[in-house]
Amino acid sequence: MYLVVVLIGASSIIWLYIRPVYEDAIIEERITLISEYQQQRIREAENFTGYWLLSIKELRDQIRDNPQNVESMAQNHIRLFPDLTAIHITELLSGEYFEIRTSNANDIPSTDLIREISYPVPDLEDIRVSWLPASNQFFLISEFDIAGQPYLITAQFQSINLEEILLQNVLGDGSFSTIWFMDGSVIGSGNRNLPNVLFQQITSVREQNIEGVPHLLVTSPVRSMPIVHATYADLDLVKLPVNQIFIQNLGLLVVAFVILALGGVFLANRVRQPVQQFIEDVEPFANYDFSRFFRDSPLPELAGITDKMEEIRKKLAHYQRINVDKIILQEQRNRLLMTYSVEMVAIYDENDRFTFVNKSLTSLFDQISPGGQPLTVGDFFGLKGISVSMESNASDKISGYVIDTRYRELEVKTGDGHRFYINAHLMNLQGVDSRFIGGMMLMNDVTKDREMEQMRTEMIHTIIHELQNPVFGCLGLTELLMVDNDLPENQRKEYYEVMSESLETLSGLISRFLDITRLESGSLVLQKEPIHLYPIIAKVAKSFKRVCEEKNITMDFKIDDTPIIHAAEDLMEDLVRNLVSNAIKYGDKDRTIEIELKSSDGYSILGITDHGYGIPEGERDKIFRKFYRAKAHRTINGNGLGLSHVKEIVTRHNGTISVESNPEIGTRFRVTLPENGDNINAEP
């Protein structure tokens, strides 16, 4: 009877009190999961449209600054953005317009209609957005002035990919997502009859019946678009696992109580005395006393357990005797691992004296203190050549002990002038009585990280330096043209030409840097096809004919074969053009430039020898870096991106490039490309 009462009471508590709490926790967890996934979809969609917004803003600013090249700039933007299908530019006063479209572009509605149904983009009030889901059209519009005349630019994007991002759902059966527009229309509802959602500026969660089925509804606004993203989850499916788990647990509880009741009644009269004897024999275990033998049990059912416990007692007594030996072995193993660790490790006692120093730290001591190893932590930090650039402290309490961690950034100079950087962690341990016990010092060499950071900083400074010359030049001429209305027309035209050349230089520099960046990141997809290199070489050579005539330069072609390679033709032309251009620039007049093309063991080999100035030996490993230029020839016009671009092109085509140079005979670049496109960075 007692067990029945306990069973009923336990079952009632579980079902009436524990189950609702667990159910609420499951629902809350599901809401959190839905909300996080929804915000992920919204962020991905806003990043997706963010590129559209930046592209239209950039195109608008380019058109405003350079209206005569509107067609080429529009075509470039359409090529760069696959979802951009049409660009429509209207002069608002006259109604005249210019339009460029792709083959899959839809008809653009009237300007007045788009302006009427569009909404401003937060933080970009001069750009408005409109989305027509029925025709998969997404519009960005912006008004701007050119010479005091108002214009409107309308960009049409295909919204199919954007819809896929927002409607993607991996939350399982019973869940789906929709997109609600301010006119009450919805995408993603299927054949469901969904009540309208409220447009709010915050994420909201509520229950909603859909066709008689309760659902969790999580709605969030999309900040950059006039839409609300809604995610629905079938509430019954969310609660189903909870009910199943608790029903199963209650069933197991009932079975356990029945078995326990039957077993208790059966064993009560047979095991009381033998069990008491067994308990008496086991009690010494609580005090780690394994010297008392287990007595034979008069109960057959307990005899086997008694025998096993006696075996366990003997083993525990044996392990107790060898426990100290194991501790010593463990310490030796730990020391062996620390000895050969890449990190620099040292252990010191309560007097700061080193009791253990591993091989990596010993090597450091030998470099900065050849006369003898420091004996204490203080001796180490007092060595000549060690300076602390930053220091911080933190403390933690664990089971009454205090671990005081000190972090230091060190700059180390050796006697031979070598400099490197180290991050040091000193962990000091204090006992329960606040007495210093000892500590450990861990150090990592971060010299390479510092050097990489310095290289990044230098590259940024170089980029700024390269960009500021054409920008400042244009700004200066622009201010002069604005304040001086009496300039002669021919001089004004000359200034405009100088500004145009500066902007072309700036545009070329940016385009080249973007090309290199896209190649390095792998985002540029190469359109490889079977091509011959010789026609490309001939085309490039012809384009430099006039420059060669001015410098009396002769090109000597040595073409043994014209093999077919699998490559991107436009990038191969960039490669040849950069190498030939450098061969012409970096040398005096009256020279011969040798261009050699041959095939060997499945590779095409292109060699260009300029017979020019040559490259000093110390700079040959640096010329393929972005913005790097040889010191002796920096007065020659250039930006230091050409050879970096060539290097990336060769790498992406699984080839190699090498340079041989001598100030007396010039420079020879040798490019090796696999003809079948499969060999990777190998030479015949």
Higher pLDDT, 502 or 189: 189
pLDDT at 338 > cutoff 90: no
Gap between the Cα atoms of 424 and 428, Å rounded: 13
Q: List the chain domain ranges.
A: 1-189+238-287, 288-337, 343-445, 451-520, 526-674
Instruction: Give me the pLDDT at residue 655, please.
Output: 92
Q: How far apart are the first and last CA of the chain?
A: 91
Contact predicate 141/153, CB 8 Å: yes
Instruction: Give me the pLDDT at residue 315, please.
Output: 77
Confidence band (pLDDT; 50, 70, 90) for 609?
Answer: very high
pLDDT at 113 > cutoff 70: yes
Instruction: Give me the pLDDT at residue 492, please.
Output: 76
pLDDT at 512 > cutoff 70: no
Instruction: Select from 449, 442, 380 the least CA-distant residue to 420.
Output: 449
pLDDT at 158 > cutoff 50: yes
Mean pLDDT, rounded, for 550-556: 90
pLDDT at 607 > cutoff 50: yes
- Select from 3.30.70.260, 3.90.1150.10, 1.10.287.130, 1.10.287.110 the CATH code of 451-520: 1.10.287.130
Contact predicate 69/75, CB 8 Å: no
Higher pLDDT, 628 or 421: 421
Gap between the Cα atoms of 84 and 192, Å rounded: 32
Mean pLDDT, rounded, for 590-605: 90
* Token representation of residue 520: 């390095």
C-alpha pair distances (Å), 584 with each of 149, 372, 524, 665: 46, 59, 29, 14
* DSSP of 28-75: HHHHHHHHHHHHHHHHHHHHHHHHHHHHHHHHHHHHHH-GGGHHHHHH
Write the CB contacts of 676 (distance below 8 Å, at least 6 apart in sequence). Answer: 566, 602
What Rg do the C-alpha atoms of the chain give, in angstroms? 39
Mean pLDDT, rounded, for 226-255: 79
> Tens digits of per-residue pLDDT, 251-264?
777 777 777 767 76
pTM score, whole prediction: 0.38
Instruction: Give me the pLDDT at residue 275, please.
Output: 75
353: DSSP letter: B
pLDDT at 679 > cutoff 60: no
Write the CB contacts of 565 (distance below 8 Å, at least 6 apart in sequence). Answer: 530, 531, 533, 604, 673, 674, 675, 677
> Tens digits of per-residue pLDDT, 23-65?
778 888 888 888 898 899 899 998 988 888 888 888 888 888 8
Instruction: Give me the pLDDT at residue 682, please.
Output: 39
Instruction: Give me the pLDDT at residue 220, please.
Output: 92
- The sign of the torsion formed by the CA atoms of 535, 580, 522, 508 equals negative
Number of H helices, E strands in the chain: 15, 24
C-alpha pair distances (Å), 681 with each of 563, 605, 655: 19, 13, 5
Higher pLDDT, 188 or 519: 188
pLDDT at 71 > cutoff 60: yes
231 - beta bridge partners? 177, 218
Among 87-101, 340-354, 476-490, 599-613, whose mean pLDDT is lowest? 476-490
Instruction: Give me the pLDDT at residue 150, please.
Output: 92
C-alpha pair distances (Å), 122 with each of 52, 223, 293: 14, 7, 82
Q: What angle do CA 63, 64, 67 make, to 5 degrees?
A: 55
Among 97-106, 140-149, 533-542, 670-679, whose mean pLDDT is lowest? 670-679
634: DSSP letter: T
> Tens digits of per-residue pLDDT, 120-155?
888 777 899 998 888 888 999 999 998 889 999 999
> Tens digits of per-residue pLDDT, 455-465?
566 556 656 65
- Exposed, middle or buried: residue 440 (CB in 10 Å: 0-12, 13-18, 19+)? middle
Instruction: Give me the pLDDT at residue 86, please.
Output: 92
Higher pLDDT, 633 or 151: 151
Helix (H) or strand (E) holding 158, with range, is: strand 149-158
pLDDT at 633 > cutoff 70: no
Instruction: Give me the pLDDT at residue 435, please.
Output: 83
CATH of domain 343-445: 3.30.450
CATH fold of 526-674 = Heat Shock Protein 90 (3.30.565)
> Tens digits of per-residue pLDDT, 361-378?
888 888 887 777 788 888
Instruction: Give me the pLDDT at residue 228, please.
Output: 92
Mean pLDDT of the residues in the chain? 81
Instruction: Select from 671, 631, 634 the least CA-distant residue to 536.
Output: 671
Instruction: Give me the pLDDT at residue 681, please.
Output: 43
168: DSSP letter: -
Contact predicate 643/649, CB 8 Å: no
